[in-house]
Amino acid sequence: MGNLYRFVEPVLLFLLRKKGHSYGYELAGELRQHAFTDAEIEVAALYRTLRQLEKNDCVTSEWDVGGGGPARRLYKLTPRGEQHLDEWVSVLEHVSKSMVSFVKKAKATSSVKIAAPIKTTATATGKRKGTVR
């Protein structure tokens, strides 16, 4: 499905399904709550992804000029976007199962032994001395 930045895509689709419609800055605020990594997601990547989703007929947008502030784009999920999110869910479910299997196998074959924690105590001279518990 692409590079890591593309993992923004399923989250945006999910948020639009959940909310019905949203502005870009609202999506940016909620994106961090549902992100797949701890990496910071650049706002530019969010808007690039929204434009690409619109180009692929997964979302639509229209200018909202109501209210006292500047015009804002309001994004909505299309039926194609609903289908694309379902495709993402299927792919991510498979990836998730594969990752769990890999981690179990890697742990089972690990030859690295975890050392016991070191307990430090002060000596008569005030220096610390380490001992293994």
Instruction: Examine residue 100 and state whether it is found in any structural domain, yes or no.
Output: yes
Instruction: Examine residue 74 and state whether it is found in any structural domain, yes or no.
Output: yes
Among the listed residues 80, 85, 78, the one whose alpha carbon sits nearest the alpha carbon of residue 10: 85
Q: What is the pLDDT of residues 49-68, one digit of tens each?
A: 999 999 999 999 999 988 77
Name the token pair of 110.
């690990």
Instruction: Examine residue 29 and state whether it is found in any structural domain, yes or no.
Output: yes
Tally the domains of the chain.
Answer: 1
Q: What is the pLDDT of residues 17-60, one digit of tens each?
A: 999 999 999 999 898 888 777 677 888 889 999 999 999 999 99
| Owning domain of residue 104 | 4-108
Instruction: Examine residue 72 and state whether it is found in any structural domain, yes or no.
Output: yes
Instruction: Examine residue 51 and state whether it is found in any structural domain, yes or no.
Output: yes
Instruction: Examine residue 125 and state whether it is found in any structural domain, yes or no.
Output: no
